[in-house]
Homo-oligomer: A and B are copies of this chain.
């Protein structure tokens, strides 16, 4: 049986043209290379080199062997890489979400149910989510409406209700509830990367200038220190607490409420059956 190491040696020799230089590049002694190449010839029962007393070079067969050797070594490297990649995929659950709250919530659920799996999640637009689910880049995607087709199943697993968070001296702060239209105009603080909510805000409040914040702590500071209105939600308040010195006013519009669905490929149902059962409750 020939050895991959011998093929590596052969390739190194071809690159460095002398056994001594190749040996240096391989960090082995030069006699090792001599023997390695002799053994390769023995095992192939072929002569690969033309030898003079102090010079050795590949013959035609040897040059052909280089081609094969390169291919085989390349294939073994590929094997390693692809197995690694496959294994990584086996041990990670990838979630794509349309919004941060359900992303957060599902991450927690998944990480508790599969404590030895790696979880990666990100917020993306709906088209990307659906494409990614179909192409297996996502294990689960979270959508704000039900998906039901031949290959995809979706189950509702969480609701979110938006509220206005207003300083007490805001003209509408005393109301029991407000519509989006009533609040449209002026400026509002808004977190970035809130997925589909962003689109909703742009559409329902076209006259408002949203002051987008990348940093959550800056966002919270501005809420405390400014009189700018902003949004919050039942989920946000449950986990991050209620904004201080703010009136929390429900939004009447139906668009300020979302039901989130966890979607997965039907073919994977059996794999995740028990997890999905716990999620459903």
Residues from 65 to 82 in A contacting B, C-beta threshold 8 Å: 65, 68-69, 71-72, 75-76, 78-80, 82
Instruction: Judge whether B82 and A64 touch: CB under 8 Å.
Output: yes
Contact A60 B75 (CB under 8 A): no
Pairwise interchain contact B80-A61, C-beta atoms closer than 8 A: no
Chain B residues near A3 (CB-CB < 8 A): 3-5
Interface of A is mostly: helix
Q: Are A68 and B82 in contact (CB under 8 A)?
A: yes
Chain A, 5-42, contact with B by CB distance < 8 Å: what is the 0/1 string? Answer: 10010000000000000000000000000000000000
Taking a contact as CB atoms closer than 8 A, the residue among B1, B4, B65, B78 that contacts A2 in the complex is B4
For residue A60, which residues in chain B have a CB less than 8 angstroms away from its CB? Answer: 86, 90
Q: How far is the CB of A111 from chain B (nearest CB, A)?
A: 21
- The yes or no answer to A44 lying at the interface (CB within 8 A) is yes
What are the residues of chain B within 8 A of A64 when measuring CB–CB? 82-83, 86
Residue of B nearest to A79 (CB): B68
Contact A65/B79 with A4-B1, A5-B1 known, Cβ cut-off 8 Å: yes
Q: Which one of B65, B72, B75 contacts A83 once the chains associate, using CB atoms below 8 Å?
A: B65
* Chain B residues whose CB sits within 8 angstroms of the CB of A203 once the complex forms: none
Q: How far is the CA of A76 from the CA of B70 in the complex (A)?
A: 11
Size of chain A's interface in residues, with CB distance under 8 A?
A: 29
A46 on the B face (CB < 8 A): yes
Whether the Cβ atoms of B75 and A68 lie closer than 8 Å is: yes
Residue of B nearest to A64 (CB): B86
Q: Is A109 engaged at the interface, CB distance under 8 Å to the other chain? A: no
Given A44-B80, A64-B83, list of 7 further CB < 8 A pairs?
Answer: A1-B4, A46-B87, A68-B83, A69-B79, A71-B75, A72-B75, A75-B75
**Could you list some 13 contacts between A and B, CB below 8 A?**
A1-B4, A2-B76, A4-B4, A45-B84, A46-B83, A61-B87, A64-B82, A64-B83, A64-B86, A65-B79, A68-B78, A68-B79, A72-B79
